[in-house]
Amino acid sequence: MKRKRRGSDEFNVSFLDVICCGFGAIVLLLMITKTGLPFALEQSEIQLDGKVADLRKQLFEIRGETQVLNRQLNAKQEQLDIEKKRLAILKSRYQQIQQQYELVAQAANTDGQLKGRLELALQELTDEMRRLQQQNSSAQNSLVGGIPVDSEYIIFIIDTSGSMFGYAWPRVLEEIIATLNIYPKVKGIQVMNDMGKYMFSSYAGDWIPDTAARRKIITQRLRTWNPYSNSSPVEGIEQAIRRYYDRDKKISLYVFGDDFSGGSIRRVVKTVKRLNAADRQGNRLVRIHAVGFPVMLDRRLSNGTSGLRYAALMRELAIENGGTFVGLNSYR
C-alpha cells in the first residue's frame, strides 16, 4: 500500500496563499494611489495659460497707451518748437531795428519824421512781441498737463480706499493742492469720495464758497478724511452729475483713484453719457478729468488688473466728456 505525499500538497497551498496576498497588495496599492493628480496638473496648466493670456493683453494695452502718449508729446513738442522759432525771429528783428534806430538817431537828430517812423516801427515790433508772449503765457495757463482749466465750478471725486489712503495719500494731497492752484478763483467747489460721500455734510447738494480760508480748511480736512470706499469711482461720478448738472454752469470733475473693481466699463460709459447730455455743439456740459495713481500696478501690492481697468475706464470717460486722463509714474 502506497503512502500519500502530504508534503507536496502543503507546499502548493502555501504557494497559492503567497500569490493571492501579493495580488491583493497590488490591488490595494492601486486603490490608495492618488488618482486626482493628472486632473490637478491639467487645471494648473489651464490657469497658467489664462494668466499668460491676461499678461499678454495687458502688455498690448500698455503699448497702445504708450504710442498715444508719444504722439501727443511729439505734437506738443513740434508746436513748442514753432513758437520758439517765431519768438527768436522777432527778437532778431527787434535787435536789428533797434541798432538801426540808434545809428540813424545819432546821425540825424534833426530829422523828426524819420525818427518818428523808426519809433513807430519799434513800437509795433514791441507790441507784437508782447502779444506773442501773452499768447504763450495764456496757452500755458489754460492747459495744465493737457487739462483744460476753463470751468467755473470744480468737483473732486477722491478714492478713499485702503490702497489710496495707505500708500498714495501724500501724493493725493499734492495733486489736489496743485489743481486748486491752477484755478485762482472759481464760483464754487465740492469734495466727495468715490462713493458720493460729501466731505462737508453741511454743503451736501450745494457749492462750497471759494475763499482762501475754505481752501485751507479743505486741505487740512483731507489729511485725515477716510470714509468707506468700494474702490470704484462710478458711484461718485454718477451722483455728482445727477446733482450738479446745469446747462448754465461750466463744471469740471476731477477724479483721483487707483483701481476699478466694478463691472462693465461699457455700461458705465453709456450711463455717464446719458446723464451728461451734450449741448447743441455736441460738447458735454460736465468735463471729466482723471488722475491715475499706479498703486495697483505695483506687483508688491497687487497681482490683479484693477489698476489697468481704472485707467481704461477713466480714459474713455475723459475722451467722451471733454476731459483728460493723466497717469502718474509714481504714487509716492
Q: Residue 128, by phi and psi: left (phi above 0), alpha (psi -120 to 50) or beta?
A: alpha
| 155 and 70 assigned to the same domain | no
Give domain status of residue 293, yes or no. yes
Co-location of 190 and 122 in the same domain: no
Q: By mean pLDDT, which of 80-84, 185-189, 216-220, 311-315 is the weakest?
A: 80-84
- The bridge status of strand 325-327 relative to strand 286-292 is parallel
Domain boundary residue, one of 114, 144, 174 = 144
166-189 average pLDDT score: 91
**Does 238 share its domain with 151?**
yes
What's the pLDDT band for 147 if we cut at 50, 70, 90?
low
Residues 105 and 192 in one domain: no
Name the band, by pLDDT with cuts 50, 70 and 90, for residue 177: very high
Q: What's the mean pLDDT when you consider all of the chain?
A: 80
316 or 75, which is more confident?
Answer: 316
Q: Residue 89: is its pLDDT beyond 70?
A: yes
Number of H helices, E strands in the chain: 9, 7
Grid coordinates representing 313 are 475706464
Contact yes or no for 251/286 (Cβ under 8 A): yes
Please report whether residue 8 resides in a domain.
no
247/284 Cα distance (integer angstroms): 10
Q: H-helix or E-strand containing 33?
A: none
pTM comes to: 0.57
Q: What is the pLDDT, as a whole number, of residue 81?
A: 74
Domain boundary among 119, 144, 169: 144
pLDDT, tens digit (0-9, with 9 covering 90-100), for 237-283: 999 999 999 988 999 999 999 888 878 899 999 999 999 988 888 88
- For 250, the domain range is 147-327
Residues 183 and 314 in one domain: yes
Q: Compute the distance between CA of residue 240 and CA of residue 194 in angstroms, rounded to an integer.
A: 10
- pLDDT of res. 68: 78
Residue 144 has pLDDT above 50, yes or no: no
Q: Are residues 111 and 182 in the same domain?
A: no
CB 217 within 8 A of CB 182: no
Same domain, 187 and 139: no
What pLDDT digit, counting tens, does each position of 41-63 carry?
Answer: 666 777 777 777 788 888 888 88
Q: Backbone phi, then psi, for 147, in 5-degree steps?
A: -100, 120
Count of residues in the chain? 332
- Averaging pLDDT over each range in 96-105, 227-236, 292-301, which range is the top one? 227-236
Last residue of one domain, picked from the residues 144, 171, 200:
144
155 and 132, same domain (yes or no): no
- The CA-based angle 327-301-145, given to 5 degrees, is 10
Q: Are 161 and 114 contained in the same domain?
A: no
**For residue 95, is pLDDT > 80?**
no
More confident residue, 174 or 99: 174
**Among candidates 203, 179, 146, 322, which has minimal Cα distance to 256?**
179
CA–CA distances in Å: residue 321 to residues 136, 141, 288, 307 = 26, 21, 6, 21
How many domains does the structure of the chain reveal?
Answer: 2
